[in-house]
Amino acid sequence: MFAPRSGRYVLLGAGILLLWGVAEAVGWFPSRLWLAPFALALVLWAFLAWFFRDPERSVGEGIVSPADGRVLMVGAEGDRWQVAVFMNVTDVHVNRFPLDATVIAVTPAGAGFRPAYAPDAHHNQRLHYRLSTSIGPVEVVAMTGIVARRLVSFVAAGDVRGKGDRLGMIVMGSRVDVFLPKDRIVPLVVPGQRVRAGSTPIAREAP
């Protein structure tokens, strides 16, 4: 399964490669030198198809990770807990809702493309998803990096989604932060831990 809005491009590329391959097989091209660019195009298409993969997930317990990747930090910011997940190019890039929520707003902010793991990365171009949940206001922030230059939202203000549903996508890696009410949750992850979007619990409600 491919990420929302990406399947058409993957299938279009596959169609072009199929026609190119048929042309090669029946000798429509006057020189075998066309084989080299065809092989390169095939490799690039395979990477594209793999990059836009969007596997189904079994939804985990508690509050789940919004992104695949490695936990970059877990810390307090005022009255909220912040959990940051760094995504590299090999991770699934579709982000998911950490818990049942109503989308209050999707707001762009920031500028620049600093390394997503850098201390000043919070100034990068990003999308802020403000959510209303059973534990109070929650915010998910999708952030660009050096390579990641495109943020895609799958939702809009007023949408109601369940935990593990698709939220958006960052093209080519980068970082997703989630901010949770400090008095309502207990973090369950530590920096360096691998997590999977929609599946890995990152926090639980405080007793």
Cα–Cα dist 195/200, whole Å: 5
Q: What is the pLDDT of residue 150?
A: 73
Let me know if 132 is a catalytic residue.
no
* CA–centroid distance for 131 within its chain: 17
pLDDT at 148 over 70: no
**Mean pLDDT computed over 135-149:** 82
Strands 185-187 and 94-96: unpaired
Closest C-alpha to 23, from 11, 44, 31? 31
Confidence of residue 85 (pLDDT cuts 50, 70, 90): very high
- Select which of 31, 58, 134, 174 is catalytic: 174
Confidence of residue 126 (pLDDT cuts 50, 70, 90): confident
Cα–Cα dist 53/74, whole Å: 28
**Mean pLDDT computed over 169-182:** 88
Q: How many CB atoms lie within 10 A of CB 96?
A: 27
Q: Which amino acid is at 157?
A: A
Q: How many CB atoms lie within 10 A of CB 190?
A: 9
Measured CA distances, 136 to 54, 90, 127, 180 (Å): 29, 33, 20, 8
Confidence of residue 54 (pLDDT cuts 50, 70, 90): confident
Residue ranges of domains in the chain, CATH in brackets: 7-51 (no CATH), 63-205 (2.70.70.10)
Q: What are the backbone dihedrals phi and psi of residue 95, each rounded to the nearest 5 degrees, phi first?
A: -95, 155
DSSP 126-137: EEEEEEEETTEE
pLDDT at 157 over 70: yes
Greater confidence, 141 or 43?
141
Closest C-alpha to 196, from 182, 171, 176? 176
Confidence of residue 6 (pLDDT cuts 50, 70, 90): low
